[in-house]
C-alpha cells in the first residue's frame, strides 16, 4: 500500500496538524502502517480532501445497452379478410383502426350469394321429396309390392338429397350466414341480396385494398387485421452481442412498463450490415404500442450474487483493471471489481466478496485518489519524482 503514503501526507498537511518541517518524517512513518492497513482518515481530513460517499446498492439484474428496434405484427397473429363470393362492394364500414370481433366491415351485393341461398332452398325441397319417396318405397317393399332394386334406388336418392342439403348449408355458414338467418330463410323463403362481412376477431385493421362500388371476384383480399395485443420487436444486433442473448431472455422497452421475451435468433447475418435479426415477442400490450413504432430495447442480464450499483464516476481504471474505493469506518482502500455495465449515470459492478452493510463507495473523489496513486507510481520509477 505504498500508494497511500502521498495521500496520507497530503491529508495530514491539509488538516494543519503538523508543521511543514516535520511533514516528511511523519508521512514516512505513516507509510509502513498503510502498506498493511490502507488509509485512515478522520472526518476533518475527508472534508479537506473533498471526498463524498454513497451506499453500495445490490442489484439482481441489469438492463444492458439500449438497441433500436421496430415493432411489427407477427405473421402468426395476422389475418387477411377476403371476399368469399364475387360481387360489388356496396359499403365499407371501417377503413382502419381498432375493431371488435363480429363487427361489420363490408357489405357486398352478390348474385353468387343469392344463388347459394336459392341452391340451399332447392336442396331442402329435393330432400323433402326424397324423404317422402323413401317412406313410400319402404312401405311398398315391406308389403312385397316393390322390388329390392327400386327400394335401394329410393334409399340412395334420399342419402344424396341429405348430402346436398348439408353441403349447401355448410357453404352458407362458411360465407357467414348464422343459424338464425338460416332458420329465417327456411321459414320465409326470402333471399338476402346483401352480404355483410364481419371481423373474425378483435384487432387492428390495416392495408385496405378495395373501394366502394368495386367489383371483385371470390377470394379477393379486402383488408388485413392484426391482434393489437401481440407485437414483435425486430432488433438487429452485432455478432459480438449474440453470446449474451438467448431464447426466452427478458427484454424491456424504454419508456414503457412492459416486458417481452426473445422468441427467435436468426442463424445467419445480414451480408451488408453484418448484424443478426433477433425477434422479441410482447403480449398483452392493450394498445400501449402500435405496429411501426420505433423503440429502444434492453436485453436484461442476470448478475453475480455480489453485484452492486454505484455512481459511474466511482469506477476508475487502476493499472488496467476496474476498481472502486471503499470506506469502512475511517478506513479507505481500492478494491478490484468486474465492470458489468456502465452508462453516464451509474455502473453495475461485481465484487469478489460481499461487503459489510456499513461499507460505502467513494462517489466523488475517486479520480483524485487514482491520480495521486498514479502520480506516486511515476515518482517511484524515478522519471518524475518530485523530491
One-character DSSP codes across 242-266: GGG--TT-EEEETTEEEEEEEEEE-
Q: 29 pLDDT exceeds 50?
A: no
Which runs of E-coded beta strand occur in 207-345?
215-216, 221-226, 230-238, 250-253, 256-265, 275-283, 294-299, 301-302, 307-311, 316-318, 321-328, 331-336, 338-342
Q: 47 pLDDT exceeds 90?
A: no
Q: 26 pLDDT exceeds 70?
A: no
Residue 209's pLDDT is: 94
3-state secondary structure of 204: strand
pTM for the model: 0.53
Residue 342's pLDDT is: 76
Average pLDDT value for residue range 128-142: 95
Q: How confident is the model at residue 347 (pLDDT cuts 50, 70, 90)?
A: confident
Residue 303's pLDDT is: 65
- The 10s digit of each residue's pLDDT in 73-114 is 887 778 899 999 999 999 999 998 889 999 999 999 999 999
Q: 185 pLDDT exceeds 90?
A: yes
- CATH 2.40.30.170 for domain 66-75+227-301, yes or no, is yes
Is the model more confident about 291 or about 94? Answer: 94
Can you give the residue ranges of every domain in the chain? Answer: 39-60+304-381, 66-75+227-301, 110-194
Q: List the alpha helices (DSSP H) in the chain.
A: 4-15, 23-37, 43-49, 111-143, 148-175, 179-188, 366-381
3-state secondary structure of 90: strand
Give the CATH architecture of domain 39-60+304-381.
Answer: Beta Barrel (2.40)
Cα torsion 185, 173, 196, 193: sign:
negative
- ∠ at Cα 87 (85, 93), nearest 5°? 90
β partners of residue 67: 297
Residue 210's pLDDT is: 95
Average pLDDT value for residue range 17-30: 37
Amino acid at each position: 500500500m505504498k500508494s497511500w503514503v502521498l495521500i496520507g501526507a497530503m491529508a495530514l498537511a491539509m488538516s494543519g496538524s503538523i508543521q511543514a518541517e516535520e511533514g516528511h518524517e511523519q508521512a514516512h512513518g505513516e507509510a509502513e502502517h498503510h502498506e498493511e492497513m490502507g488509509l485512515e482518515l478522520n472526518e476533518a481530513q475527508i472534508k479537506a480532501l473533498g471526498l463524498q460517499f454513497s451506499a453500495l446498492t445490490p442489484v439482481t439484474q441489469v438492463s444492458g445497452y439500449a438497441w433500436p428496434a421496430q415493432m411489427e405484427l407477427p405473421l402468426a397473429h395476422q389475418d387477411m379478410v377476403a371476399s368469399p363470393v364475387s360481387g360489388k362492394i356496396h359499403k365499407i364500414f371501417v377503413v382502419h383502426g381498432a375493431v371488435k370481433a363480429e363487427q361489420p366491415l363490408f357489405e357486398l351485393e352478390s348474385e353468387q350469394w343469392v344463388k347459394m341461398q336459392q341452391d340451399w332452398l332447392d336442396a331442402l325441397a329435393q330432400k323433402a321429396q326424397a324423404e317422402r319417396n323413401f317412406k313410400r318405397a319402404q312401405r311398398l317393399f315391406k308389403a312385397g309390392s316393390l322390388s329390392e332394386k327400386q327400394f335401394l334406388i329410393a334409399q340412395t336418392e334420399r342419402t344424396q338429397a341429405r348430402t346436398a342439403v348439408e353441403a349447401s348449408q355448410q357453404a352458407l355458414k362458411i360465407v357467414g350466414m348464422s343459424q338464425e338467418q338460416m332458420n329465417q330463410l327456411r321459414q320465409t323463403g326470402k333471399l338476402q341480396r346483401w352480404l355483410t362481412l364481419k371481423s373474425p376477431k378483435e384487432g387492428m385493421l390495416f392495408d385496405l385494398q378495395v373501394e366502394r362500388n368495386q367489383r371483385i371476384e371470390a377470394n379477393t383480399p379486402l383488408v388485413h387485421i392484426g391482434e393489437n395485443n401481440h407485437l414483435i420487436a425486430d432488433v438487429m444486433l452485432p455478432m459480438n452481442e449474440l453470446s449474451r442473448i438467448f431464447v426466452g431472455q427478458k427484454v424491456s422497452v424504454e419508456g414503457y412498463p412492459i416486458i417481452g421475451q426473445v422468441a427467435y435468433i436468426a442463424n445467419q447475418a445480414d451480408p451488408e450490415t453484418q448484424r443478426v435479426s433477433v425477434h422479441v415477442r410482447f403480449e398483452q400490450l392493450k394498445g400501449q404500442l402500435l405496429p411501426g413504432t420505433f423503440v429502444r430495447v434492453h436485453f436484461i442480464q442476470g448478475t453475480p450474487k455480489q453485484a452492486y450499483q454505484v455512481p459511474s464516476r466511482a469506477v476508475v481504471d487502476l493499472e488496467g483493471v476496474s476498481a472502486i474505493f471503499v470506506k469502512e469506518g475511517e478506513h479507505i482502500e481500492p478494491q478490484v471489481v468486474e465492470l458489468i455495465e456502465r452508462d453516464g449515470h451509474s455502473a453495475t459492478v461485481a465484487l469478489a466478496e460481499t461487503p459489510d452493510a456499513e461499507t460505502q463507495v467513494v462517489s466523488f473523489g475517486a479520480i483524485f485518489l487514482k491520480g495521486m496513486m498514479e502520480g506516486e507510481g511515476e515518482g517511484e520509477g524515478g522519471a518524475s519524482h518530485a523530491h
